Every structure is written in C-alpha cells, then in structure tokens.
C-alpha cells in the first residue's frame, strides 16, 4: 500500500489562527465552514484507523475537551456555567454531521463574556493587589490538575486569581525584580491574554470545536484551518529560524515536547523536554509573559532572524517548586547537515587491553530530496552517511558498534527501512496495517550488509516512530542489544487530507514489528535499562490523551542471528554491579530519587517567601552536594557554587553501552 504522505516524526501542536473581534461581540458560525464540518465527520468515520461512529458517546468526551481547550486552568467559567452548558453535552456529533456548529459558538460566547469581564477586573486591580501582598503569610496555590475544580462562586474565583497573581509576583520578586517592574510584567501578561481573546475569530472557534472531536479518537488526528495549515506545513519543512524545539500547549502553559536534533536549543543544553516557558524576551526589550497566550503567537515570538538572541523564562521540568530561571538561546536555522549522522569512538580498558567501540549518533532519519530531484549522485541521506561512517570505523579497528538513536523523533520511513538493511540481509523490516485490516510489509531488498558484527542500539523516551521501527527490527532479528529507556511509543501513521477549507491530519494505519508486536503505546522496551531523568508517566504516547492501544498481529518470517535472551540476566547483573561503582551513575540515581521524592510532595506552591527561598536553597545545595560527591570520586576539584556545574564531558550512557556490548562478546566467547 502506498501512502501519499507519511508523517513519521513527533510533530508540534499548532494553535488557533488569529483574527479580530471587538470586546463582547458575540461570534457566529462561519457558514462557509458548514461543508467542512460534514467533511470532517465523514472522513473520521470512513478514513480513521478505528472508523469510529461519531455519536453521543464521542460528543460527551468532545464537550469536556472543548471546555478544557477554552478554560484549561478553570480560571473563568463557574460551576453554574458548566451546569447550564451541559445541555449541549450530546450535541457535538449532530452539530458536525449537520454542518451547523452553533452549539460551539453558544458555549464560546459564554466563555468570552466571563473571560473579558474577569481580565478587565484583574487589570484594574493589579497595582493595588501587588502592593498589598504579604509574603509572610502561610498559604499555597494548588497546581495539581487532578484537584482543579470549577469555582462555585465569584468569591472563590477571586481568591484563586489572587493566589495566581501572588505566585507570579513572588516568582518575579525572587528573581530580583522591583515592585513596579513586577506590576508592569503582570499587567503585560493579562493585557496580552485579553488581546488574544479579543482577536479570536469565528474560524478559530470552529477549529477548536472540530479538534475537541478529533482528540477523542487519538492525540495525532487534528484539523488545521487554512492559516494553521500553513503554519503546520512550515513546521514540517523546518524552513524558519528558531531555537529548534517542538512546543505544545498544556494547561495555559507552553510546554517543550522535544528538542530538534542539531538545533540551537539542543546544542545550548539548558532547555529540556517538559520545561514550561512562561515568558519570552528580545534583547533590550522587556520580557513578555506568555502564560495563557496562544501557541502560534508564542512560536512567532520565539522565531526570528538567525544570529539573534531570544530570552526564555522557564520553569524546569525537574524543579521542585515554581521558581523560574532565564536562559538565552541564539536563533539559527536547523540545517540538514546539523542533523547528519556523526561518529565517535569509545575506548574501554579491560584486562590491560584497550577496546574500541564505534558509536554512530543518528539524530533523525533524513534524505536530501531536493538534491535527489536535481540528480545529484552525492545526495545526503541517513543510510548513505551511516554506511560511510561504518566503513571508517571499521578501518579504525572497532570491536563492536553502537547505533545511538536517543532523542531521534523519527523522519523518513524509507530511510528507516534502508538503514535497517545495513545490518541484515534482505528481509522484512516493518508491517503496516491500515484501517481495513490489510497488512503490507516493508522490507530491505539489498542483500549486502555493511556491518555484521556485535552491536547495541541506544534509545531513550524521546526515541520515536522511525527510531522505534529500526530498534524493534534489530531487536527481533537478534542483531542488536537494545539499551537505555522505554521508547516513546508512537506507532501510528498519519496522512493529510485536503478539505474544502484547511486540512485534516488523520491517523490511518499502525506500525507492527516483524514479530507482530505494535510499537504503538508501549514502544520498544530495552533489554538493559539505563537510569533516566525522564519520567515515562509524563512523557510519551501513553502520557497523551486517548492514544491507540498496543496490540499484536501475526508475525512474519525472519531469521534470528543471536539469541540475546539467554544472556540478558547476566548482562543485567554485570551492568547493575558496574553502575553502582560508577560515580556518574551514582549521582544520576541520587538525582532521580530526589526529583521523584520532591514531585510527590509538590502538588501545591507555597506563597510564603521564606519557604520558597528555603526550597530553592535546599534544591541548589542538594544539587551541589551530589555534584561534589561525584567529582571527589573522580578526583576532580569540588565546586563552591551551583552555577558552576557543567554537564560531564564524557557521555556516560555511551560508555556504559560499550561496556554492555563488550560483556556480551565476552560471555558469547565463553559459551562458544
């Protein structure tokens, strides 16, 4: 089966488009979208992988999704509004099917009035409110989304807003801002939010309404109105300068989903997945608070001319409080060569001998389609580059090879297939099942093998899609030991369907390994687990709403080269014993335990200044203590300040992966 356009990478969410509307002016459905509504429901029912009937059950979930999209932090609507609007709970399916989306606008207009009234009230009160805050009072702000409920009256909502503003004011105060600067920063936040609401147009509301329905089917099926469709295509081509990060909205915050390999943010190494961006600034200009701002506008602020700096205020994912920090990233265009395969050699001392283990770092599965179309015989591709690097590493006398797919979010399916073929003779690589249940097999036809020796594949939670296809195939064939962390679990295929207006990105198929196991939801489990700071409960397909489930189909015929299973227990024990003595891993394990313990306690934020200062001090001292313990074990000079801590120059994961593959070689030789 041929797919016109396979969307294999983890892709950014695209926010609503911009328009203009004056305050309190009610929005009405754009009737030129009536046909689009009917197209969407027809396409979902007939093309989506599950071919789900859009009925009242879907409508009820879509109703909740729509309210969450409008008011994710429960900041504007009251419980009485929800009760009154609940009469529309079963109307979303009929609205789409009949091409009459009035229900969405009736709900939106209630939200519009509540939001504008609230924001105007807040803006009028901010100066006196900030001046009157007493930071010695012991009170807290709930940040646990599971315990966030609709306010039952205006007084309750007033107190919630007071605490939200006090939290932001305290954060700015702890960052050294003066009172007037704090007032101006908070005013900018809510003026911006009010402006965003005032600029929302009828098309925006329709897109949000449509996506409240698509989100019930799975997290990757999305409707893009014309402007958002254009933004989506820009993101697909990576043609604009920026920081190289995939972002999405979550509970009023702009959250980092992943860093683009070879991009500025990854190179700078201060931004991480799950970090929340709360303000964006340009050189010489005040920071703009972006909490509650639409994603496309946040992205526009972050993008800019290459070589210029953007300042981000972030709440780190591993922070044990809401204290923020500022980082500066220089904008650059993410180029193909920046994402190219790279090689290095890890040297391991054993028994008085030095063993060389080659490492090929592959940030993405790429192919220079423009060069191919020009007829350039020297076009770049991940397969061609990897093959060349393998040849160079073999000339340097490597004992084993590691394919590093950490943080590789996917790319070209054809490249994933051909790259797998570098390590196996001709054979199946991945199975693809469509919505009709038909299974097609994609495989390598080239019997030549670039490397037939022992190897490992390194993965982590950000290894997704095409990466999971390669890792799964090499695992099933017994060609590689998989080391690292459970992969992302994106095993679905999306295609773009053109509609009368805009596009529908719709899930149409699922990937299955040659063993028959899906890569969806569960991902690829490593043979040897490495400790990781990424929490699989917060990151990955299983952390998204309504992911398609893991399942299994018939396997296909394929040979198994090494039976790694009989060695895994011994390899795991050797690995465990070794990292207990490795100062780098000991420090990492302690950091993981610390973050886990803190996250269990911080379901609310203290609004007491001394408490927050103490939390920050404890966090910094804990980090400094771990780092100095590590440095002492490695005979390195200790540090006096947490700001002096830098990431270790050595890639401890790659070194441990090399140890694991050498363990296997030793055990295999003993048994043969």
Q: What Å distances lie between residue 555 and 187, 417, 426, 470, 552, CA to CA?
A: 60, 17, 17, 16, 9
Short-list 199, 200, 239, 205, CA closest to 225: 205
Residue 396 burial by Cβ neighbours in a 10 Å radius (0-12, 13-18, 19+):
exposed
In sequence order, what are the beta bridge partners of 511?
A: 432
Contacts 24+ apart (CB under 8 A), 134-138: 135/166, 135/170, 135/173, 135/607, 135/608, 135/609, 136/608, 136/609, 136/610, 137/607, 137/608, 138/606, 138/608, 138/611
Active site residue 465: yes
The C-alpha atoms of residue 262 and residue 533 are separated, in whole angstroms, by 21
The C-alpha atoms of residue 42 and residue 384 are separated, in whole angstroms, by 42
Q: Which of 9, 367, 465, 467 is catalytic?
A: 465
- Tracing tokens 């991480």 back to the chain, one arrives at 272
Q: Which of 343, 490, 505, 522 is catalytic?
A: 490
The C-alpha atoms of residue 357 and residue 653 are separated, in whole angstroms, by 13
The C-alpha atoms of residue 384 and residue 377 are separated, in whole angstroms, by 11
CB 334 within 8 A of CB 323: no
248-271 burial code (b ≥16 CB/10 A, e <16): bbeebbbbbbbbbbbbbbbeeeeb
Active site residue 343: no
The CB density around residue 339, as the number of other CB atoms within 10 Å, is: 24
- Tracing tokens 């071919």 back to the chain, one arrives at 51
Tokens (6 digits) for 372: 């191919």
DSSP secondary structure string for all residues of 182-209: HHHHHHHHHHHHHHHHHH--HHHHHHHH
Residue spans of alpha helices (H) in 175-272: 179-199, 202-217, 226-237, 264-268
Residue 68 burial by Cβ neighbours in a 10 Å radius (0-12, 13-18, 19+):
middle
- Tracing tokens 């646990």 back to the chain, one arrives at 144
Tokens (6 digits) for 183: 């007032």
CA-atom Rg of the chain in angstroms: 26
Number of H helices, E strands in the chain: 19, 19
Short-list 95, 71, 315, 87, CA closest to 197: 71
Active site residue 476: yes
Q: Which of 476, 527, 582, 651 is catalytic?
A: 476
The C-alpha atoms of residue 458 and residue 404 are separated, in whole angstroms, by 5
* Residue 237 φ/ψ, nearest 5 degrees: -85, -10
Residue 447 burial by Cβ neighbours in a 10 Å radius (0-12, 13-18, 19+):
exposed
Tokens (6 digits) for 528: 């040897």
CB 460 within 8 A of CB 542: no
Q: CA angle at residue 7 from 95 to 526, to 5 degrees? A: 115
Q: Which residues are tagged catalytic?
A: 465, 476, 490
């Amino acid at each position: 089966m041929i797919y016109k356009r396979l969307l294999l990478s983890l892709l950014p969410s695209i926010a609503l488009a911009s328009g203009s509307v004056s305050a309190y002016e009610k929005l009405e459905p754009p009737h030129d979208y009536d046909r689009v509504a009917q197209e969407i429901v027809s396409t979902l029912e007939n093309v989506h992988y599950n071919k789900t009937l859009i009925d009242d059950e879907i409508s009820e979930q879509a109703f909740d999704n729509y309210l969450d999209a409008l008011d994710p932090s429960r900041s504007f609507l009251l419980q009485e509004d929800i009760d009154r609007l609940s009469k529309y709970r079963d109307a979303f399916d009929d609205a789409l099917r009949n091409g009459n989306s009035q229900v969405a606008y009736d709900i939106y207009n209630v939200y519009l009035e509540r939001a504008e009234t609230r924001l105007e009230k807040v803006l009028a009160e901010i100066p006196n409110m900030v001046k009157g805050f007493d930071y010695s009072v012991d009170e807290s702000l709930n940040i646990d989304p599971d315990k966030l409920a609709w306010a039952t009256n205006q007084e309750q909502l007033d107190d919630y807003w007071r605490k939200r503003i006090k939290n932001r004011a305290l954060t700015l105060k702890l960052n050294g801002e003066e009172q007037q600067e704090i007032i101006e920063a908070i005013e900018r936040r809510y003026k911006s939010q009010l402006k965003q609401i005032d600029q929302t147009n009828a098309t925006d509301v329709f897109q949000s309404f449509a996506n409240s329905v698509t989100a019930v089917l799975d997290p990757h099926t999305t409707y893009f109105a014309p402007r958002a469709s254009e933004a989506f295509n820009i993101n697909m081509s990576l043609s604009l300068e920026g920081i190289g990060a995939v972002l999405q909205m979550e509970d009023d915050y702009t959250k980092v989903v992943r860093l683009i390999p070879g991009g500025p943010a990854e190179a700078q190494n201060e931004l991480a997945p799950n970090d929340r961006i709360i303000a964006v600034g340009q050189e010489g200009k005040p920071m703009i608070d972006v909490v509650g701002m639409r994603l496309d506008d946040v992205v526009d602020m972050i993008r800019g001319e290459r070589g210029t700096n953007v300042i981000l205020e972030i709440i780190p994912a591993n922070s044990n409080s809401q204290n923020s920090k500022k980082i500066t990233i220089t904008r650059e265009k993410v180029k193909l060569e920046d994402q190219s395969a790279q090689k290095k050699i890890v040297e391991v001392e054993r028994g008085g001998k030095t063993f060389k283990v080659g490492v090929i770092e592959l940030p993405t599965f790429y192919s220079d389609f423009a060069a191919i179309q020009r007829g350039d015989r020297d076009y770049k591709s991940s397969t061609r580059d990897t093959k060349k690097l393998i040849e160079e590493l073999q000339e340097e006398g490597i004992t084993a090879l590691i394919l590093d797919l950490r943080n590789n979010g996917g790319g070209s399916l054809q490249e994933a297939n051909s790259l797998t073929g570098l390590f196996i003779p001709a054979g199946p690589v991945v199975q693809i099942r469509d919505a009709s249940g038909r299974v097609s097999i994609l495989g390598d036809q080239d019997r030549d093998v670039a490397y037939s020796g022992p190897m490992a594949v390194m993965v982590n939670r950000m290894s997704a899609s095409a990466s999971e296809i390669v890792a799964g195939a090499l695992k099933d064939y017994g060609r590689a030991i998989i080391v690292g962390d459970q992969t992302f679990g994106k095993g679905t295929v999306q295609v773009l369907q053109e509609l009368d207006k805009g596009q529908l990105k719709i899930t149409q198929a699922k990937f299955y390994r040659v063993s028959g196991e899906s890569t969806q939801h569960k991902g690829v489990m490593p043979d040897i687990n490495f400790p990781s700071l990424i929490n699989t409960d917060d990151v990955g397909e299983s952390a998204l709403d309504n992911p398609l489930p893991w399942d299994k189909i018939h396997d296909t015929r394929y040979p198994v080269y090494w039976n790694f299973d009989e060695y895994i227990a011994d390899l795991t024990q050797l690995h465990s014993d070794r990292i207990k003595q490795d100062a780098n891993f000991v420090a990492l394990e302690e950091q993981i335990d610390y973050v886990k313990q803190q996250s269990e306690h911080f379901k609310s934020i203290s609004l007491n200044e001394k408490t927050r200062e103490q939390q920050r001090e404890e966090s910094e001292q804990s980090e400094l203590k771990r780092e100095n313990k590590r440095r002492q074990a490695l005979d390195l000079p200790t540090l006096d300040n947490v700001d002096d801590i830098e990431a270790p120059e050595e890639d401890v994961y790659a070194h441990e992966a090399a140890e694991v593959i050498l363990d296997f070689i030793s055990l295999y030789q003993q048994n043969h």
